[in-house]
Chain A
Amino acid sequence: MRYAETGFNLEIDLTRGNIERVATDPRDTELYLGGLGTNAKILWDRVAPEVDAFSPENLLIFAAGLLCGTPAPGCNRTIVSTISPQTKLMAFSMMGGFWAPELKYAGYDKVILRGKSPKLVYILIHNDKVEIRDASHLSGKGAVETQELLRAELKEPKAQVAAIGLAGENKVFFASIEQGRSSASRGGIGAVMGDKGVKAIVVRGTKDVNMAQPAEYMKLCNDVLKYIKFRNENPIPGVMPILAGLGSPQEMRVHDEKWHTENFMWGNSRHRRKDFWNDDVEKEWTNTMDKARTRLISCYNCPMQCGATISMPGLPTYMMKCFSKLTYTMAAMSNLDFGLKIAQRATEYGVDGFSAPQVMAFALELLENGILTDKDFEGMPTDNDGKFYWLLDRIVRREGIGDILANGTYWAAEQIGNGANAFAHNNIKKHEQLPLKLSMLNPIYFLMYSTGEKINITQIEGQFPQAPWPTMEEREEFVKDWFQVPDDKFKQILLDWEPRGEKSMPLYPTVQMCCDIVDWQERMHYIDDALGMCSGLSSFPLKPPYHIHNYPKFISLGAGIEMDEEKLTNAAKRYRTLVRAINISRGMRRKDEKPPENHWKKRFPELEKELLDTYYKFKGWNNDGIPTKEYLNEMGLGYVAEEFQKRGIYSETESASSKETSTNNETN
């Protein structure tokens, strides 16, 4: 018997309309765990580097993490993996909500889509019954609307539906997949779903998910719940409220937005408004939020309340979470009332809440600067808010200028030319980033921004405090019960870390320490993504309930795979390397690994070079960021080394890396 996982994938060929239930190899679970790990293995094996996002040979994989569907609290992530049309690299966005556990109860670990359907379809999965069905009546329907319509027409109120909106149907490069209160939105995976002609995947399951050692596993779950309760009652003192507790950032709960509105950038990630937050704004925004928010809600089997149902007057209700509360407001330099209203439309269209607002602000900046002209914006209303609605409508329909903007700021700038690329200034690896511009380089964040392959800072940061505590008492207080650290050396680093002086940034933590810290941070995210755990209970917050010490037990007792910290660390390293291998085979190199040039005002080119050099070595990569033969063999990835060899990737970089010694020459 297989435990925690079902041992079966659904393989659906949309071109031929063929559906197969395929048993998976338990040895792959041992090596790559599940979720992201096994997704990466499948993409490496089956999608050649020449295959682009909109090729029928591209796969779109929906995976339930290894422990999804077991009683582990907060374990509910669907990991969607494919090749991104925007970055042309591997995209592995995830979503919370209720879909992944339902897939497990239906009897599958993954749904793997290949080919393209000639007409718009949806997929119905009800235990053993799997059908490809006509979705022509859903064409153009909103992503939330589609979920409701399908549940109603199928008379399956308990079915979980992942759907795309108009943006996905029209292959907008930042289209999302929406599901309940969650969405998988980074990297344009909704566009790939649209390209495959799939409007939605409906899942209903009523089968068992088995646990290997039931009573012991349950005890682990109970301990986690107990610790969540403890952490909810004991927020971390001395940090911003948003970092004090567990869960995704509690944006739906809080009213005080002083920190975000005054520290994050407005417009096209340009303007800092240092004295924005005052009593009047606070009163107005609190009022808006209170009226809009009906209830705080959670994902499957999680006691937190990171999401909310939002009802704006005259608009259908929708669900929201996290920072999309502010992204539209800030991009448009408007107010919260506008932000929550346009987000309703954007959610129905199914677009990424980070990229979409930035693309629109970028377009208006190009107009202001004469790079685009009034002709490009014919018919656009003159009022500020109206402009954003108008642009959003053009983009998701790919009409006029919207057709260019729908490719995101990087590609739009390439197409527009005429200096437009200076305005696409907030990208990493062609992907829009958080609107943050800071003063002095932070070496830990420098490494995370540069080398993160999920290309979203929130999906690599966490665990380690973002700033040192001013007093020793506070530091001692913090490290006292910091048992989540993989090694006690992290406590010492924190104790020694000072806000000013010799032991302060950018020279302390030292380069080597930064490597250790970033490696730990990243590893925990990768483990979450394989197990299907919410990073809000694990890799993201300080002192989370899941960590490197209890995860191996969860895997052994839940999935029945013998596991210890070392073996787990190695598995995570293995599929993390595989993600990199996929991207390397697609041309990603050291030159691509850098934060936006203006992310920090004060940069340290030599230090940055040393950081990257050291980190690459530490990770087993050569100086161009390519995993070395030796390291690949050590990780049991000899097949990757062979392929690199065959493709001439090593020989090409041996000569190239000496030319491209530093990425930072350009950034000064």
Chain B
Amino acid sequence: MKDEKKKKIVKSIRINVDKCNGCRACEVVCSAFHSNPKYSSNNPARSRIRVIRDPLADIFVPVYAGEYAVAECAGRDKYTIDGKEYDECAFCRASCPSRDLFKEPDSGLPLKCDMCESDPTLERPLCVEWCLNDALIFEEREVDDEDDVKQEELEIGLESLANKYGIQKLAEIIAKMSESKKG
């Protein structure tokens, strides 16, 4: 038991931009799913996946909404790949003050991909379901649970504290802390 590492499931979407035909079906179904009540409206501007699409430059990149950023970055990035120049911040997933991407169009509230969280859980996120071109592939991977590693680190840290302040003192402080957290 001790040496058997704990596993956890990581959900990810593999994006193959070469297969994207630029149809934006992923945006359509995402915005419909997240409307309230579910599917009651459709509006790609509310989608949590957006396709950066510049056909003449052969740029087709689906990007998912990530974390909300309070402030914009100090520096910006701009990529050129295979001779194709991508817009500033093109691959960034943040809902950020510097742009209107990944925000509710009327309220400006940030949007974030939640992998179509729902009850019961869907087999696949809907963007993947609707992408018949296989540009979006859903994967569930088992990975080692990082918590095990953290546990070890924590033990080492605590031991050094116990050596320094004595185990009794440490136990008292932890008891007090947990008391106040509960309160």
Which A residues fall within an 8 A CB radius of B?
Answer: 69-71, 73, 98, 105, 144, 148, 157, 180-181, 205-211, 214-215, 217-218, 225, 228-229, 232, 294-305, 309, 316-319
Contacts and interface: CB of A to CB of B under 8 A. Distances in A.
B55 A309 contact: yes
A115 to B, nearest CB: 32
B25 A208 contact: no
Contact of B132 (A209, A215, A225): A225
Interface string B36-59: 011111111110000000111110
A317 B43 contact: no
Contact of A180 (B25, B55, B60, B132): B55
Interface of B: 21-25, 28-29, 32, 35, 37-46, 54-58, 60, 87, 105, 130-133
B55 A181 contact: yes
Contacts of A211: 32, 39-42
A225 B105 CA distance: 28
Contacts of A228: 132
Nearest to B44: A105
A294 B82 CA distance: 13
A152 to B, nearest CB: 11
Contacts of B32: 71, 211, 214, 218
B132 A69 contact: no
Contact of B56 (A69, A73, A207, A317): A317
B38 A309 contact: no
Contacts of A300: 23-24
Nearest to A208: B41
A71 B23 contact: no
A297 B41 contact: no
Nearest to A319: B55
B105 A210 contact: no
Contact of B42 (A70, A295, A309, A317): A70
Contacts, number: 98
B29 A71 contact: yes
Closest 8 CB pairs of A and B: A214-B39, A303-B132, A206-B45, A208-B41, A206-B105, A214-B40, A298-B23, A208-B43
A319 B131 CA distance: 22
Given A206-B105, A209-B41, A301 B24 contact: yes
Contacts of B57: 317
B132 A157 contact: no
Nearest to A232: B132
Contacts of B41: 208-211, 214
Contacts of B40: 210-211, 214
A298 B32 CA distance: 20
A218 B24 contact: no
A215 B39 CA distance: 6
B21 A297 contact: yes
A305 B43 CA distance: 23
A180 B54 CA distance: 10
A241 B133 CA distance: 20
A117 to B, nearest CB: 28
B174 to A, nearest CB: 51
Given A217-B39, A301-B25, A303-B25, A105 B45 contact: yes
Contacts of B29: 71
A206 B29 CA distance: 15
Contacts of A232: 132
A303 B133 contact: yes
24 contacts: A71-B32, A71-B39, A98-B24, A181-B55, A205-B45, A206-B43, A208-B46, A209-B43, A211-B40, A215-B39, A217-B39, A225-B130, A229-B132, A232-B132, A294-B58, A295-B55, A297-B55, A298-B22, A303-B131, A303-B132, A304-B21, A305-B133, A317-B57, A319-B56
B28 A298 contact: no
Contact of A71 (B28, B46, B54): B28
A295 B130 CA distance: 20
A301 B37 CA distance: 22
Contacts of B39: 71, 211, 214-215, 217-218
A215 B56 contact: no
A504 B32 CA distance: 50
Contacts of A181: 55
B132 A208 contact: no
Contact of B38 (A71, A208, A209, A214): A214
Given A303-B131, A309-B55, 14 more contacts: A69-B42, A105-B45, A148-B56, A207-B105, A209-B42, A214-B41, A215-B38, A217-B39, A300-B23, A303-B21, A303-B25, A304-B21, A305-B133, A317-B56
Contacts of B45: 105, 205-207
A143 B172 CA distance: 78
